[in-house]
Amino acid sequence: MQLNEGLNIVTGDFKVSTNNQVIIIIVVTCIATISVLTGIKNGIRRLAEFTFLLGNILLLVVFFMDDWKYCLNSLVEVTF
């Protein structure tokens, strides 16, 4: 499972095994079930807001861990 391998690469402590994959499936299923039970209006909206927040955090982490001057310079040079 890709998520299991990704967590293993990032943390080093989360080994690739069947037990860990079952735990990941249970957690993802619980999140999806909670989203469905709260309804489309609230559940899906909260899930979308959460993923948007995670995307922005990832963007900022990549931006500040890399050479941010190079990133901004590339953005200015590539933009038409």
| pLDDT per residue as tens digits for the range 16-53 | 889 989 999 999 999 888 878 888 778 778 888 989 99
Where does the chain have alpha helices with state H?
Answer: 2-11, 18-37, 45-65, 68-78
Boundaries of domain holding 44: 2-78
Q: How many domains does the chain have?
A: 1
Distances (CA, A) of 52 to 25, 41, 66: 22, 17, 21
On whether the pTM is more than 0.85, the answer is: no
